[in-house]
Amino acid sequence: MKRRLGTALLRLFTLQGSWNYERMIGVGTGVAEEPLLRDLPGGPGGPAYRSAVARASRFFNAHPYLAGLAVGAAARAEHDGAPGDQIERLRTALCGPLGSVGDRLVWAGWLPLTASLAIAGVALGLGSAAVAAFLVVYNLGHVALRWWALRQGWQHGLKVVVALQAPWLQRAVALAGPGMALGAGLSLPLAAVWLAGAFEPWARVALAACAGVGLLAIRMLPRQVSGLRLGLGLVAVALVVGWVWR
């Protein structure tokens, strides 16, 4: 079974490549779950196998790093002989929690935290070593999360909600936001100083003034000024100034 779990894990890495408007990542979850269904009664090609693969490939949408939890749980439920409609309800019920937890833990926590620390490392002179460390640490974390999710899903089956209540996962989600804020707060001033190092003193003052005005505009006019609009505006101004300056 460990070999089939390993095959399912490898297939989970292709999950986002299967995305489409009709089933979201449903086709990808079906492909990832298929190795775990081969020893159902009747074997590959049997009625149980075909029905299970069809169910696994229906609509599903969740965070890709935690989708393995649903893949493992659904496969285990198939082996336990759970009714098909119950398995479908399980997959539907897991969409929201897996998406919410994954977004808060990874997209709003682990990724910006590790990226911010890498930026701080570059600004402190570590160069490519900081980038390499980011790639290693971030990917070790997300691969471990994928493997944990798949194993927990297979272990608990229909009772997979137990895995989402794991104390370490709850603590990690709670610390993700503050950790991201700490990393960003550390990296932004270091990166600003590093990037401004090549400018004359008067230009640094001008850059600081632009940043201050931009922050005030975002705070006082949130509907009219967004971070994206401000960034694009500053890029346009920089291009014009650079063209005139030369």
pLDDT tens digits, one per residue of 80-89: 999 999 999 9
Three-state SS across 178-191?
Answer: HHHHHHHHHHHHHH
- Res 216: pLDDT: 85
Retrieve residue 91's tokens. 């997959």
Which of residues 115 and 2 earns the better pLDDT score?
A: 115
pLDDT tens digits, one per residue of 101-160: 999 999 999 999 999 999 999 999 999 999 999 999 999 999 999 999 999 999 999 999
User: H/E element holding 1?
Assistant: none
Which of residues 2 and 43 earns the better pLDDT score?
A: 43
Residue among 235, 39, 58, 76 at smallest CA distance from 159 = 76
Q: Give the domain ranges of the chain.
A: 2-198, 199-246
pLDDT tens digits, one per residue of 216-242: 888 888 887 777 787 788 788 778 877
Structure pTM?
Answer: 0.85
Cα–Cα distance list, 228 to 65, 119, 158, 207, 225 (Å): 27, 20, 43, 17, 8
Residues making up the chain, counted from first to last: 246
DSSP 200: -
Residue among 102, 103, 107, 120 at smallest CA distance from 183 = 120
What phi, psi does 145 have (nearest 5°)?
-65, -40
- Res 95: pLDDT: 95
DSSP 199: S
Provide the phi-psi class of 32: left if phi over 0, else alpha when psi is between -120 and 50, else beta.
alpha
- Res 234: pLDDT: 78
